[in-house]
Amino acid sequence: MKKTLVLYWPEGGAVDRCAHKIFTALTPEKADIFNLEEVDPQIFDNYTGIIAGGSTVGAENWEEVSGNNEWTLFLKKCKDKNISLNGKTIAVFGLGDQILYPHHFVNDMADIIHTFTDMGATPQGECAADGYRFESSKAFSDGKFVGLPLDEVNESEKSDERIANWLNKLSI
């Protein structure tokens, strides 16, 4: 059994690139990587650690937020199938644009991690807000983000270091 599952959506953009950076750092011997659209919720049975990533879309894409994006549909499917993640660890990363959308920077991380913890997973991977410029985020509480926020639009040069530092803190 592989130890860690890296699960992400959407495919083909910045989330995909960052997910593959995380996977490469973990190494194929210790992890598997899948686009969310490729898997069924029972995949969690094969892993003890889960790293999940997504993005918070901007105003030009609000139809994606309407409840029909792949993360929303997948998490609903997990709830409908009563998936249990007891004994598993969850860490999340999220992409957003802290300049253009500072009032909901990486909001989707909160939805993802809260659903996984509601299914029994133990969260880890909180990050301090140092170095980020945003106004508010559902993923920010008590001075920390619930996971790793990345801004590939405005600070892509910081992503590699942020990913490496975050992975070093995880026990996944």
For residue 26, what is the domain's CATH number? 3.40.50.360
What's this model's pTM, rounded to 2 decimal places?
0.93
Tally of structural domains, the chain: 1
Return the pLDDT at 48: 96
In the chain, the N- to C-terminal Cα span, in Å, equals 14
Contact 146, 126 (CB under 8 A): yes
Return the pLDDT at 128: 96
Return the pLDDT at 65: 53
Question: What is the mean pLDDT of the segment spanning 128-133?
Answer: 95
Tens of pLDDT, residue by residue over 64-89, are 555 668 999 999 999 999 999 999 99
In the block, tokens 């994006």 appear at 69
Determine the Cα–Cα distance for residues 62 and 144; give it in Å rounded to an integer: 26
Listing DSSP states for 26-59 in one string gives H-TTTEEEEEGGG--GGGGGG-SEEEEEEE---G
Tens of pLDDT, residue by residue over 15-71, are 999 999 999 999 999 999 999 999 999 999 999 999 999 998 654 454 455 566 899
Determine the Cα–Cα distance for residues 165 and 163; give it in Å rounded to an integer: 6
Contact 63, 72 (CB under 8 A): no
Domain that holds residue 95: 4-169
